[in-house]
Every structure is written in C-alpha cells, then in structure tokens.
Amino acid sequence: MTREFSDLTELTLVQARNALDGREISAVDLTQSHLDRIERDDEQIGAYLHVMRDVAVAQAHEADRRIAARESSPMTGIPVALKDVLCTHDAPTTAASRILENFRPPYDATVVKRLRLQGAVFLGKANTDEFAMGSSNENSAFKPVHNPWDLSRVPGGSSGGPSAAVAARLAMVSLGSDTGGSIRQPAGFCGVVGLKPTYGRVSRLGLLAFASSLDQIGPFARTVEDAAITLQAVSGHDPLDSTSYPTPVPEFRDALTGDIRGMKIGVAREYRVNGMEQGVADAVDTAIARLASLGAEIVDVELPHTEYALPTYYITAPAEASANLARYDGVKYGLALEAATLRETYERTRGEGFGAEVKRRIMLGTYALSSGYYDAYYVKAQKVRTLIKQDFERAWDTVDAIVAPTSPTVAFAMGARTEDPYQMYLADVFTIPANMAGIPGIAVPCGFSDGLPVSLQVLGPAFAESTILRIAHAYEQAEQWVDRRPPALDQAEMAPAN
Amino acid sequence: MTLSLDDVRYVAELARLGLHDEEVVRLQGQLSSILEHITALDQLDTAAIPPTAQVVTLTNVMRDDVATGSLDREDVLRNAPRQFEGFFEVHAVLGAADEDIAP
C-alpha cells in the first residue's frame, strides 16, 4: 500500500486537469486511485449504492486517448459520483428505493449525457434519501450514509452520498439534486461546496422527479472553482426539458476574480431562529464580517415571509410528489407484487415498495390536492409562494446577493431526529426559500463548531450564479477552510486493510 | 386530531397505497401533527395574491410537429415485470358488472 493513490485523491479538479493535460498523471491512475479508496473506505461511509468499476476504467482509458490527442474538455478524465436519482443507461438507478431496486434506465439523464460526451469518468451511483425525500440520508432503503467528519453523525440529505463522497475523497466532484435544500444542507454538514442553480438553468430530463417546480441538479466540490467548472459542464437549455431556460450560460469561471469591493450583500434577521446553535451563528457572523473586510457593503434586508416557507414547502412538494410518484405501479418497471386484481397489485407494490417517509409525503400531498381541501391547502401554498418570491425580488432592489447560515445547526447524530418528522423538516428552514423562489444558492464552508463544519449560504437573483460564485470564491480564497480535512480520513489510512 | 382513521384510509385509497393497520394509526398522528404546523399559513391574508405554480416565466414551450426517433421497444420492455407480445401485461381493467375491480 503506497501513499501515491491517496495523493491523487487529494487533487482538486483544476489541479487534476492541469496534471492530466500536462501528461503528469493518467486518467486511468486517477480513476484507479479513487476506486481503490472507495473499496477501502466506503464501507464506513456508505456513500455509494453502486460502484461503476468497469465503466469507469473504460471511460478512463478513453479519456487518456482524448488527452493524448489534445482533445480534452474541462471534465475529461475527471472522476464523478452521480446521485442515484440520475438515470444512467449503464448502471442501476434506484432512487435508494426498493421499488426501483433493479431498475436499469433505457436512457441517460441529459446531465449524464453531457458529462459522458465530455469524457468524464463515472465512479458510481451515490446514496441518497429515498426519492430525494429527507434531510439526513437516513431514509435510504439500503443503508445510511455517515458523515466523514464524525461517522456517528448524519451527512445531511437528501444528497448525503454525493456530499460525503466528495468530503471523503471518494469522488473528485459529484452531482446531486436540490428540492428544498438537498445539495446545500449536506454540503454544509460535510464541509464542502454545494450549489443549487436557478430553476431552469440545468435540465431535469432523466432526474427521477420529486417536485417538478422545485427540483434542480447541481454540483458538489471541495472548491468553488471546481463547482463552477462542473456546473458549466451541465448547464444550458435542453429541448427535452420544457422548463429549462433558453437564456445563454455565461462563463462562470470569469466571475472568480476574488474582488467583491462595492458589492452590496444583504443580511436578513429572519435567518436567525430559535434553536439555532450559537457556534453556527458565531461562525456565520465572523464570515459576514470577513466579507465586509474584503470590501463588500453589508446591508440589512427584510424577508418577512421566511418563516412561512417551510409549511408552504410541505404542502407544495408532497403534492407534486404524489403526482410524480404515481408512475411507480409495478406495470412498466420496478417492483411488482402479485395480487388478485390490478388495484391490489398497485396497493401491495406501492405499500411495500415505498419507505415510510415517501409514503408519508405521498399521503400529505394526496390529501392537500383532494377535493374539498385543494383550495385551503394547495392553492393557499401557491399564493404564499408568490409572497416568498416577492420578498426576494424586493431585496434585489437594494442588494446584489444575500448571505445566511445554510443550516441552524451542525450535523446532528444519526437517529436524533427520526422520531418526529417535523423536527427533521426543520433542518431545511434556511434552504427552502430559495427553491420556492427559484433562485440560485451556494453553500461554502465558513468554519467549525465543536469540530463539525459550519456553512455560509449565498443566494442571488435568478440566473445570477456568477454573482454568488464570485462572493463565495472571494470568501473561500480569503479563509482557506478547504485546507482542513475530515479526521476520519487519516484514521482510515492507519486502519489495517481488510 | 386533524385526521380521523377513516380520513387516512380514504387518502391511502386515493394514493393506491396499501397500509397495514399500525401504519394507518401512526400516519394519523404524524400527518395530523404536520397539518397542525401548516395552519400557520392561515395567518397570512392572501385574498389578493395570485398563485405561483411555476417560477419560470416561460409559457407554451412547443416544438415543431416533426416525428423524431424514440426509444427502442426492446430497451423499454427490458424492465417490464410482465410483458406479452410487445405490450406491458396487466390484470384485467374491466370486468363483469358485479365485480369491484376498478383500478
């Protein structure tokens, strides 16, 4: 066992790109180093549901050929983990659910297709809360994910697998999905960068739908620049997704100047709630002061409907989910349990195939949409959504971006919030508003509390990913929290091989 | 509680979810509790507020009515639990008048 493979897994995407194109390392070695690390460490983490070993090695060989022919793209040869709600025609896609346990999609998601064309390497399908419903990755039907910073704690969710993989060097970058915070919150808990783009910036074709007016796909990385490059690779209009925007995609890396002088950054007092940990509040306040010292002007803004975002979301998202998950009926794919009648096959298949949280949300959504309750719940929620959206639109009159904590707490212990569903839902209280308004948000590490990562969230106007990337990058370059590593990584290296 | 056990069973029927008795009881408590939290929305006067169904401002996104390729039937049927001569096979949808087999 040499130190070499550990070193390759420490590279950032930018470093790897230079080393690959400069022929200092091969894509095959880079991929193999990640596969070796997954084999040694993932039993403790649980980040992967399916490792695409053969596919990855073949892709790596092809990447080396392209690099040698000087035909590389930014993502050529880069080892990526894909949240298991993204359809891959050459690997199972399960949504971490028994109802899709053996499902092999007949097509790729558009984001997968784009990465494949660029010559990226797919290490595997990353674990998630079932159907992306959860805030801790404890709802996976197969196994939970453990936080690399403290294996007894959750990585966050629902994209716990992609987030933990990047934090634990089991992937260089990854793709997750964010419906109410499912990229940003786990990025925060795992001390990595996570970005949710503007609704419509990235195609949802081939993303197993949870809530169609809220879902977005986005990157995890250890640096803001790596996240920007990954986002660039998958962004842009897709004729197969009628909600994807035709607006041109700027060169996101152009925003990474390190200069935020004169930018107006809003802070809203509504992003301080009871039950927020002092260590989190302190780290975020320190980060905001840092932004001021870098030349930004900190401005108070009001987002008066912030507290209503959570209840609004817990009508809207389950309602949309109840429609999107109706397709899992044992007829076209997935689990199919036998019964005497068609209706009973539906009921048995869905009753046994879905986990508890999924059933809970389908029930909530079905109730909210049912006759007699539709106006009181679903339409009401849509109207409050307008108010939340208008809060942000008003804010953009006075500020360029808004900063806030990503979560009220650091990563909590496994099992700590599984008794009362609403306690779990509260983990997303700061991330949900951005999904309701359709605006982009990035989570970036901003310190530690009790040894666990704290995260700063930067929100911007629709299609202003460049603005939030600029601010996050400038902060990151000034503070370098990225240099801290999860202590479990070093312990794993000391552990004897199995 | 906001929901009765009959309410829960009715919603489960609408959602085609087969629930065990203890699930029905547990969901009654959990869903009622969640709906209690949601009543916070009643604090807001939204009479004059239009609903937001979609945050994109696109409408009627269309493409030309030109036939393009589709998926290979074999690929599509590969995941089918039951298939018959190129079709997905299911239990009878229609039956005798005295049978309650409505899907």
ipTM of the complex: 0.94
The larger pLDDT score, comparing residue A318 to residue B91, is at: A318
Catalytic residue of the set A158, A163, A235, A322: A158
Closest residue in chain B to residue A420, using alpha carbons only: B30
- The whole-angstrom separation of Cα A147 and Cα A190 is 6
Question: Which chain A residues are within 8 Å of B8, Cβ to Cβ?
Answer: 363
| Six-digit token string for B56 | 């994109």
3-state helix, strand, coil in chain A (%, to 5): 45, 15, 40
The CA–CA distances, whole Å, from B33 to A135, A355, A432, B11, B19 equal 19, 19, 20, 16, 19
- The whole-angstrom separation of Cα A99 and Cα A130 is 10
The single residue listed with the structure tokens 């009648």 is A341
On whether the CB atoms of residues A243 and A237 are closer than 8 A, the answer is no
Q: In what order do the strands lie in the sheet with A173-178?
A: A48-51, A121-126, A79-83, A173-178, A216-221, A193-196, A441-449, A452-459, A401-405, A264-268, A297-301
Q: Where are the alpha helices (DSSP H) in A325-403?
A: 342-353, 356-369, 380-395
Catalytic residue of the set A83, A113, A125, A196: A83
Q: Would you call A203 a catalytic residue per the annotation?
A: no
The single residue listed with the structure tokens 């079905």 is A366
CA angle B23, A357, A166 (to 5 degrees): 155
- The whole-angstrom separation of Cα A176 and Cα A193 is 12
Question: Which chain A residues are within 8 Å of B31, Cβ to Cβ?
Answer: 360, 363-364, 367
CB pairs under 8 A between A and B: 168
The single residue listed with the structure tokens 């159907």 is A131
Q: Which of A248, A264, A343 is nearest to A298 (CA)?
A: A264
On whether the CB atoms of residues A84 and A141 are closer than 8 A, the answer is no
**pLDDT score, position A497:** 37
- The whole-angstrom separation of Cα A169 and Cα A60 is 18
**pLDDT score, position B102:** 63
Residue A300's H or E segment, with its range, is strand A297-301
**pLDDT score, position B99:** 55
Q: Which of B41, B89, B9 is nearest to A308 (CA)?
A: B41
**pLDDT score, position B89:** 95
* pLDDT tens digits along B7-53: 999 999 999 999 999 999 999 999 999 999 999 999 999 999 999 98
The CA–CA distances, whole Å, from A274 to A127, A177, A434, A486, B102 equal 31, 28, 20, 29, 50
Q: Would you call A136 a catalytic residue per the annotation?
A: no
Low-confidence ranges of chain A (pLDDT < 50): 1-5, 494-498
Residues near B36 by beta carbon (within 8 Å), at least 6 away in sequence: B2
Q: Which of A162, A302, A149 is nearest to A220 (CA)?
A: A162
- The whole-angstrom separation of Cα A233 and Cα A228 is 9
DSSP state of B39: G
First to last CA, chain B: 31
CA angle A220, A434, A385 (to 5 degrees): 150
CA distance B93 to chain A (A): 7
The shortest CB-CB distance from B75 to any of A106, A346, A425 is to A106
Question: Which chain A residues are within 8 Å of B52, Cβ to Cβ?
Answer: 382-383, 385-386, 389
The CA–CA distances, whole Å, from A112 to A81, A89, A137 equal 11, 10, 22
* pLDDT tens digits along B52-79: 988 878 889 998 999 988 899 999 999 9
- Residue A189 CB-density burial (10 A; 0-12 exposed, 13-18 middle, 19+ buried): buried
Q: Which of A51, A41, A109 is nearest to A79 (CA)?
A: A51
Question: Which chain A residues are within 8 Å of B76, Cβ to Cβ?
Answer: 106
**pLDDT score, position A272:** 87
CA distance B64 to chain A (A): 11
- The whole-angstrom separation of Cα A459 and Cα A197 is 10
State phi, psi for A349 to the nearest 5 degrees: -60, -50
E strands, A65-172, are 79-83, 121-126
On whether the CB atoms of residues A28 and A85 are closer than 8 A, the answer is no
| Pairwise CB contact (< 8 Å): A329 & B16 | yes
| Pairwise CB contact (< 8 Å): B44 & A384 | yes
| Six-digit token string for A134 | 């959860």
Q: Would you call A449 a catalytic residue per the annotation?
A: no
